[in-house]
Structure 1
Amino acid sequence: MKSVVVLHHHPPRDPTPAKASQLGDRKEAAMLEEWLADFERRSGKSALFVGAHVGTFHADRVDGVPYVINGNSGKGPSSAPHLGGFTGWTHFGVDGRGEVVAETQAHVDSLAVSAPATAPRGTPIDVAAVVTQGGRQVPVAPPVSADWTASPSVHIGSALGLRPWHAAWFDPSTGKLVALRSSGSVVLSVTVNGVTAHATVTLAAPRKAAA
């Protein structure tokens, strides 16, 4: 056993301004955080705390220990969509190293990707995705889990993986797409909770400087 998970209805800390859903006894909350951090240090194993009740999806670390708050699934959230206020569930699993990993799966009524039709070479353009839940618009960004894919000529990730044959570079952490060539087109796709949306962008010559 390489990891230990503690499940508790109330989290030690409520990330919302009201702080109404955290453990009421602040000494108990501090003791719990101290115990888990000390367990990691003494045992060499990983610890994870999973809580709920807040009505918001949230993840943070205290003294190196991850704390995950699972949001609502069957009733409305208690915070704004971009702050984790959406409905869904959290999927936990164990990777090949024995570490616990979590994916936040948002309910998806529809999913859309927005991007300019053209990307001038060398000029970053904004790419964004939005999940619709009834009348709620949820940006596809943490804590929403999403898988971005693209045409084979597109590098997805940091600049470290760029190669001479790449026609474009997309960094999901910034939402920026950079054309590296002046012709052709690329397709970007995002999948959230099994639903996929696409956007096609044409690569163009650099913009001419103003006279």
Structure 2
Amino acid sequence: MSENNIGKTVHLTRKTMETREKLLNAAEKVFGKKGYFETSVVNITQEAGVGQGTFYNYFLSKKEIFDALIHEYSRQLRKTIKEEMKNSATHEEAQKKGFLSFFNWVKKHPDLYSIVQQAVVVDQELYRWYYGKLASGFLKSLSAGVEDGEFKNTHLETVAYCLMSIGQFLGMRWVFWEGKDVPDDVFNAAMELIFNGIKNV
């Protein structure tokens, strides 16, 4: 699924870009609160304060704007994490910064986080695409750590998905459900598990 084939092609003047952003922001709120199946195009346009005709100038359907939100979320999240991980002294430090960046993102975008979770029943291909993109980023950073001798040369795709699951459920438990930051002792315990394991030797 291409990230570039979302929505009709429109001449992106400043005004049209602002309208598209308004529709995406409205869809984020409505999908986040009502869920995909209970949301209608009318709900989105009412939230955005535009007519239905305007909606169809940008998106062909409710499903297409849903897809667009997940693609936008994926791009922005990966870019933010990459920026936060730059200039780290070690690969371990970079991974820790990446986790913190993800938790901060979830706190700022809880509706988008909810929308990604909805994708598992709305469109499994899209759901797999989203996590595949995240895994690809993990694989690159883990491979760099292996090349520099900091990380073990093990099955890195397995490691990537394990790390994603840790981030996913810590973010769900503390940030999404409770609207809090991940507590320091929780974060430190998770990092201890990741980088030192649980075996008492």
Relative to the length of structure 1, the TM-score reads 0.28
TM-score (norm 2): 0.29
As a proportion of its length, which structure holds more strand? Answer: 1
Greater RCO (CA < 8 Å, at least 6 residues apart): 2
Larger radius of gyration: 1
